[in-house]
């Protein structure tokens, strides 16, 4: 009698386990089949040798009601501009007063730069490349080769008036940018807009999340950052290497976001903590592809895939690709998700996608 009962209960347990296994397999198949990503392995650079210094915790906070000021730039008069996530272009005058300058609307503004003729150029991930002057807003370009430009990320003007700008991803949009990191397939581009012909052309394709762009002091190359490749490239504009590409700096201790030329010809690069420590296995484990599909299916998990809100780091890189200085906030106590660093009059101005202010750090004492 007892042995029959035990045998029945074993059968019941086996049936339950099989049922649960079938359900689990069905869920995994469903998740993989309908997944928005088709993931590749992501190479993560070796741990950084740079000692932490917490210097970004010493910033002065400018503003206080700026919604995620991603990028900053300064015009010839020393007025500082930033584009905020609530659709404003705000500016800080030399006397310390902030002005809500232009309302562009939406939540899709990213990289900005000033022009020699006094306008502001703004990347709008929805509309393309915008020119903003006192008189109003002009859309410069929205298409390349007949395809809508969906994720313009950063822009710089060359001395001949050409605009070089990045498209982070041709597959994913601003609000699910981390899917591009999870997928780790290159969908980024470097584009050029020529104002005299009104033409936009693709210079580089297949970049790993093309982000910050800057031009060298001598105007002989453009640097474009590839965020999840942890590196930046040089694209030569002149000389015998014209049109060629080479690595400018790689194995960066974070994903490079915006980059700015410093007065001495070096570059300041803001680095993102792309893989939080607990989620490094997402990219490294043997079942990485399935884990990535699962994460892509559950938006709450996606937030935890990256550690961008846990840390801030900026580096100063010489023209030979050597890291000369590093400033960080290792636990994001004062600033995290720092996306840009701009040197102006012996100070660094820092934009962030997790702040309501622009950080200001004196360089002489740092």
Least distance from Ca ion to the Cβ atom of residue 23, Å? 42
Closer residue to Ca ion, CB minimum distance, 149 or 288: 149
Does position 211 interact with Ca ion (CB under 5 A)? The reply is yes
Residues 60/343, Cβ–Cβ less than 8 Å: no
Q: Which is nearer to Ca ion, 113 or 169 (CB)?
A: 113
Which residue stretch of 23-31, 107-115, 136-144, 275-283 sits at the interface with Ca ion (rule: CB under 5 A)? 107-115
* Interface positions, 133-152, toward Ca ion (CB under 5 A): none
List Cα–Cα distances, 347 to 55, 66, 98, in angstroms: 13, 20, 18
Minimum Å gap between C-beta 69 and Ca ion is 12
- Distance CA(121)–CA(112), nearest Å, equals 6
* Of residues 160-189, those binding Ca ion (CB under 5 A): none
Q: By CB under 5 A, is residue 111 in contact with Ca ion?
A: yes
124 binds Ca ion (CB under 5 A): no
Q: Smallest distance from the beta carbon of 101 to Ca ion, in angstroms?
A: 17
**Beta pairing class for 221-226 and 210-215:** antiparallel
Choose one: 169-177, 209-217, 290-298, 321-329; the region binding Ca ion (CB under 5 A): 209-217
115 burial level (CB within 10 Å; 0-12, 13-18, 19+):
middle
Beta carbon of residue 295, minimum distance to Ca ion (angstroms, whole number): 22
> Residue with the closest Cβ to Ca ion?
111
Measured from the CB atom, the residue of 58 and 173 that comes closer to Ca ion is: 173
Residue 328 binds to Ca ion (criterion: CB under 5 A):
no
What CA–CA distance (Å, rounded) separates 116 from 76? 8
Q: How far is the CB of 212 from Ca ion (least distance, A)?
A: 6
Number of residues that bind Ca ion (CB under 5 A): 7
Per-residue binding letters, 220-259, with Ca ion (x by CB under 5 A)? -------------------------------------x--
Q: Please tell me whether residue 71 binds Ca ion under the rule CB under 5 A.
A: yes
Least separation in angstroms between residue 211's CB and Ca ion is 5
Of 62 and 163, CB closest to Ca ion: 163
CB of 13 to Ca ion, least distance (A): 54
Residues 249-308 that bind Ca ion (CB under 5 A): 257
Min. distance of Cβ 113 from Ca ion in angstroms?
A: 5
- Residues lying near Ca ion in the complex (CB under 5 A) are found at 71, 111, 113, 153-154, 211, 257
């Amino acid at each position: 009698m007892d042995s029959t009962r035990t045998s029945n209960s074993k059968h019941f347990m086996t049936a339950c386990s099989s049922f649960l296994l079938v359900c689990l397999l069905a869920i995994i198949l469903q998740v993989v089949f309908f997944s928005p990503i088709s993931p590749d392995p992501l190479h993560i650079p070796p741990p950084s040798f740079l000692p932490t210094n917490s210097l970004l915790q010493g910033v002065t906070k400018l503003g206080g009601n700026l919604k995620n000021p991603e990028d900053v730039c300064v015009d010839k008069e020393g007025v500082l501009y930033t584009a905020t996530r609530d659709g404003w272009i705000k500016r800080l005058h030399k006397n310390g007063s902030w002005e809500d300058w232009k309302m562009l609307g939406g939540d899709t503004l990213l990289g900005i730069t000033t022009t020699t003729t006094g306008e502001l150029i703004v990347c709008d991930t929805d509309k393309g490349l915008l020119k903003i002057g006192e008189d109003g807003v002009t859309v410069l370009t929205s298409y390349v080769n007949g395809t809508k430009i969906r994720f313009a990320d950063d822009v710089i003007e060359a001395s001949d008036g050409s605009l070089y700008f990045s498209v982070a991803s041709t597959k994913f949009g601003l609000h699910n940018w981390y899917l591009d990191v999870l997928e780790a397939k290159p969908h980024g581009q470097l584009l050029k807009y020529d104002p005299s012909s009104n033409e936009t052309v693709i210079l580089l394709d297949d970049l790993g999340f093309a982000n910050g762009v800057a031009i060298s002091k001598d105007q002989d190359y453009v640097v474009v950052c590839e965020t999840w490749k942890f590196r930046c490239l040089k694209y030569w504009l002149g000389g015998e290497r014209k049109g060629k590409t080479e690595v400018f700096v790689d194995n960066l201790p974070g994903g490079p976001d915006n980059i700015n030329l410093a007065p001495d010809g070096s570059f300041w690069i803001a680095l993102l903590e792309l893989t939080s420590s607990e989620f490094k296995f997402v990219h490294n484990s043997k079942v990485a592809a399935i884990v990535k599909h699962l994460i892509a299916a559950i938006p709450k998990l996606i937030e935890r895939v990256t550690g961008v809100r846990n840390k801030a780091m900026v580096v100063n890189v010489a023209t030979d690709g050597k890291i000369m200085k590093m400033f960080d906030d290792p636990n994001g106590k004062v600033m995290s998700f720092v996306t840009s660093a701009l040197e102006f009059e012996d100070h660094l101005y820092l934009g962030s996608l997790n702040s309501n202010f622009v950080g200001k750090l004196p360089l002489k004492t740092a």
